[in-house]
Amino acid sequence: MTKKLILFGVAFLFVFLLIGCDTASTTTTSTATSTDTTTTTTTETTTTSETTSGTTVSTTSLINLIPDECSSISINDGWIPVWCDEFNYTGGVDTTKWSYVVGGGGYGNNELQNYTNRPDNIYVDGEYLNITALNESYYGYDYTSAKIWTRYSETWKYGKFEMRAKLPAGRGTWPAFWMMPGSELYGGWPKSGEIDIMEHVGYDMNNIHGTIHTERFWGSNGRGGSASVLVTQDVVPQMLVAEEFHTYGIIWDETTITWLFDDHPYATVGYDAYFSQSALYDTTVDWPFNMKFYLILNLAIGGDWGGAQGVDNTIFPTTLTVDYVRVYQKDYIAGDSQIPHNPTSPRIVYQTGTTAYLIWNEAEDDMNIARYFVYLNGVPIKTTSVPGVRITNLKADFDNMIVILAEDYAGKLSDPLETMIST
């Protein structure tokens, strides 16, 4: 018992030292170790207070920080609008929110279009954003279109992301609403992840795809699903995506991503140590989604997938019409009153030599758990947003003490979970 108390005291001291030394920011959490180097944008304010763990968090409710443009958007199931573009203006896109991506080159998919920022290809008409693809000769390309992103203006970690749109029709079209990481924390694509909220290829009309790409699962091997299952299950009668407006979205949290069509969930992918020998790898290999991502909207022509059956030149001009793009988050700080329960039921999924993959039951909290601190023999080794960790530096021929603490978004720490891994 004395040994355990000493180890816990050392671990708790490390929490204070690690968090207290972090660079201050306007987001709600700061990073403990290099494994989880990004922060969570749950609220953005300069009014802060220090919590029991030393984390600086906002004292302003997220509901009081709703942007003026988003103030008329309903709050449902606790989802608070933190960013939106309602496209209720005219001309080019709002460059405080979006940046244009211009040029050709195939974009890694052998796409045929040259993206421009010309009004012919992209304009806002006071009600909708219109991205129009044209069949024309333009700087060596036979097609033009448009692509925009929030890469240089806004990124987010977790939330609900949605677009209401009417999609283009015709063989060769490939519209997409998707997300990429703000930094290549775990390496270049696909190691740091990609989240495809909505993709549609014109030769396969009314079949909506949602996919994630990671180091082991990418391209046609990506994980996700098709919204067509909603028709099969009689959840929706039909999908006429080029004739009607529909809402395409995801709910992304610490351990799962769920795809939505008109707010109906149709696929969920999450962290799973038992999936396809995932325990042989670090948690971020199959689940790198613990950092900020930015939004992308584009209409590609042709390409490896969109052009798999060629391009029908009689369809042009063809337009992706967007009613709005919205980002929601939940306020896990305001109203938080409880200290998290400690994680439970530690168990080893895989062990060889001085390497082991340890998982546990998620800690419970009245709001939500932000992360876990993991200590090996009194030394901090990782923070993780998922209830699992791969430990590679166990001491040989030794009863290694593992201590795990859960922290909620208000900075409150749980009691420790302690377990031994013998080598």
> What CA–CA distance (Å, rounded) separates 346 from 340?
17
pTM for the whole structure: 0.88
Q: Are 376 and 304 in contact (CB under 8 A)?
A: no
The pLDDT of residue 104: 97
| 407: annotated active-site residue | no
Q: Which residues of the chain have pLDDT under 70?
A: 1-59
Active-site choice (111, 162, 199, 254): 199
Catalytic residue check, 44: no
| Cβ contact 95:122 at 8 Å | no
| Model pLDDT, residue 10 | 44
pLDDT in the model for residue 29:
31
Check 111, 154, 162, 194 and give the catalytic one. Answer: 194
Q: What is the pLDDT of residue 335?
A: 85
Per-residue model confidence (pLDDT) at position 58? 58
Check: CB of residue 110 under 8 Å from CB of residue 300.
no
Give the model's pLDDT for residue 54: 53
Residue 222 and residue 239: Cα distance in Å, rounded? Answer: 23
Instruction: Give me the pLDDT at residue 60, please.
Output: 79
